[in-house]
Structure 1
Amino acid sequence: MLPDIWKAFKETIIMIAISVSISLVIGLPLGILLFVSDKGMFWENRFIKNVFGFAVNLVRSIPYIILLVALFPLTNLLIGSTIGPVAASVSLSVAAIPYFARLVESSMREIDKGVVEATIAVGATPWMIIKDVLIPEARSSIIRGVTLTIISLVAYSAMAGVVGGGGIGDLAIRFGYYRYDDTIMIATVAILVILVQLIQLTGELVAKSIDKR
């Protein structure tokens, strides 16, 4: 079973890598937008805050397995298939983007408002505030948010495997559950546990290394 386990592990890594990359590219600016458009901020805009906030909450309120099935038409349109790790990455990305965006927004709220106000007082532009103050001050917390997002995607990827996404979840269902093979079930759980522990440890080390406070 080692070749099958290795193949399933690589499929899981592919799913996570694609979805994390997309969530970073879209979720980071979305989280920043949610923060800077809030009441009292330099880009205060109630309409933008409410619209994007509602969209984020809407996606986050849908259980992943339902979101996965609901996005089959979109997945088929974009990928040409609903089977495989790349196809599963579509629903994983959609689930991860709002989750990470909220974590980014929460990270920004930890910043001392006095720092932002002082930057505004010296005439810094909004882009300079975001680039030189918000992101550097919140980067350690953002790294922890990335870590949490990746760990959540590990669990989601296992669910995606149940409906044809491949990966460790698919292996556990097909060989472990359907064939009553406890060895495979234990092996897949062990792999997931080790993977999550490594992700958590790496994320904490990186976050601490760049935290200058």
Structure 2
Amino acid sequence: MTWSEMHPLLTQACTDTLKMVGWSTAVTVAAGLPLGVLLVLTDRGGLLRNLAVNRALGFVVNLGRSLPFVILMIALLSFTRAVVGTTIGWQAAVVPLSVGAIPFFARLVETSLREVDGGLVEAVQSMGGSTWTVVRKVLLPESLPSLIAGATTTVVALIGYSAMAGVVGGGGLGDLALRYGYQRFETGFMWVIVAVLAVLVTLVQLAGDLAARTAARRGGRGPLPRLRLLRPAPPAAPTSP
């Protein structure tokens, strides 16, 4: 197969893969971040301690992580059809990709938040900060570099999952590898697809590492500026009669 024949196929497949990964990443972060925060807040010693809720959330997360992705795609066919109206194409692949990645990212969020110094949480509480204030002013800002690293790991995993989604009609580079590299024995084309995936993963990892380092440098001054915002204003000086 010549490059003129490969180019339009690779362009369309890369576009479909980027759409799959982009939309599933957005859904994963939107759902996985609050889920990870709840796992921390409802655990023993958490600000919203509730062991029943914590165990229920933990069970759901562990169940989602225990299912191999190929089995998960097949099990969610009816749900996927109900959500997007089809089980073929990159739109359909977004559903199992998101469902499979949300528990994975939630555990990474939980691990990142547990690394935050508990003394900072106590300081905000002593200043009258609410649970939402603790999350917004301490937990998320202090764990931001680790959260970015976790999101990068999740995106890299989603790229691999998206290749598997091509096996069941999800489109993208995985579908191209199956149809041309496997079924038509185009070995050279297969290696081109492997190289494209390697470059894509490398670019995502480099961008994630850069963003994490930038967030770490910006947070290097410590939490004191944020905590000062929570201090009550000093009482006004008494006026002379």
Of the three residues 71, 91, 99, the one matched with 2:96 is 91
Question: Percent identity among equivalent residues?
Answer: 47
Task: State the partner residue of 2:168.
Answer: 163
Deviation string 1:17-50 (CA, Å, 9 cap, x unpaired) is: 1100001111100000001111011111101100
- Determine the C-alpha separation between the residues in 2 that align with 1:158 and 1:141: 26
Backbone CA RMSD of aligned residues: 0.7
User: Looking at CA atoms only, which structure, 1 or 2, has the larger radius of gyration?
Assistant: 2
Task: State the partner residue of 2:199.
Answer: 194
1:112 aligned to 2:117?
A: yes
TM-score by length of 1: 0.99
Aligned length: 213
- Determine the C-alpha separation between the residues in 1 that align with 2:202 and 2:208: 10
Of the three residues 134, 137, 142, the one matched with 2:139 is 134
Displacement after TM superposition at 1:102 (Å) = 0.6
Displacement after TM superposition at 1:104 (Å) = 0.5
**Gaps spanning 5+ residues in structure 2: where?**
1-5, 221-241
Task: State the partner residue of 1:209.
Answer: 214
1:185 aligned to 2:161?
A: no
Of the three residues 33, 38, 43, the one matched with 1:38 is 43
- Tell me the amino acid that sits aligned with residue 2 of structure 1: H
Displacement after TM superposition at 1:6 (Å) = 0.6
- Determine the C-alpha separation between the residues in 2 that align with 1:131 and 1:115: 12
Deviation string 1:73-127 (CA, Å, 9 cap, x unpaired) is: 0001111110000100000000111111110000001111111112112211001
- Determine the C-alpha separation between the residues in 2 that align with 1:41 and 1:27: 18
- Determine the C-alpha separation between the residues in 2 that align with 1:158 and 1:178: 16
TM-score by length of 2: 0.87
Moved more, 178-187 or 113-122: 113-122
Deviation string 1:39-79 (CA, Å, 9 cap, x unpaired) is: 01111110110001100000100000000000000001111
- Give runs of aligned pairs for residues 139-150 of structure 1, distance below 5 A: 139-150=144-155
Runs of 4+ in 1 over 2 A off after TM superposition: none
Displacement after TM superposition at 1:183 (Å) = 1.1
Task: State the partner residue of 2:70.
Answer: 65
- Determine the C-alpha separation between the residues in 2 that align with 1:41 and 1:9: 43
